[in-house]
Amino acid sequence: LAKTTQPISMDSYEGQEVNITCSHNNIATNDYITWYQQFPSQGPRFIIQGYKTKVTNEVASLFIPADRKSSTLSLPRVSLSDTAVYYCLVGFTGTASKLTFGTGTRLQVTL
């Protein structure tokens, strides 16, 4: 399983763009990169997933360089409600689902 490394915490002001980078040096060819968001007392919620280059949806963008050894989750114009823990996962469920969560990045957004 690919091990991931993320910053433990980040602070931002409301309205700023936040970029959270995840390192996954031993990512395998079949592995996808997935980001989850977790609020206190709730289960993680899927944000975005990608395999290479750039993926964008209504809440975030995911940038993946050509070597795929890292990825960056970009949250545009964060608000107070984006305060949460963000997890980067690397894995593939083609034949098995054994996703491992790291400790995540705790994002604190203030006014």
Partner 1 sequence: NAGVTQTPKFQVLKTGQSMTLQCAQDMNHEYMSWYRQDPGMGLRLIHYSVGAGITDQGEVPNGYNVSRSTTEDFPLRLLSAAPSQTSVYFCAAGGRTDTQYFGPGTRLTVL
User: Binding residues for partner 1, per CB under 8 A?
Assistant: 32, 34, 41-46, 49, 85, 87, 89, 91-104
Nearer to partner 1, 56 or 93 (CB): 93
Nearer to partner 1, 68 or 91 (CB): 91
Question: Which helix (H) or strand (E) element contains residue 76?
Answer: none
Nearer to partner 1, 34 or 70 (CB): 34
What would you measure as the largest C-alpha separation in the chain, in angstroms? 45
The tally of CA atoms less than 13 A away on the side-chain side of residue 10 is 25
Q: Quote the least distance from Cβ 78 to partner 1, whole Å.
A: 21
Give the residue carrying structure tokens 């592995």. 31
Q: Quote the least distance from Cβ 16 to partner 1, whole Å.
A: 25
Calculate ∠ Cα 90-86-28, nearest 5°. Answer: 10
Q: Quote the least distance from Cβ 29 to partner 1, whole Å.
A: 14
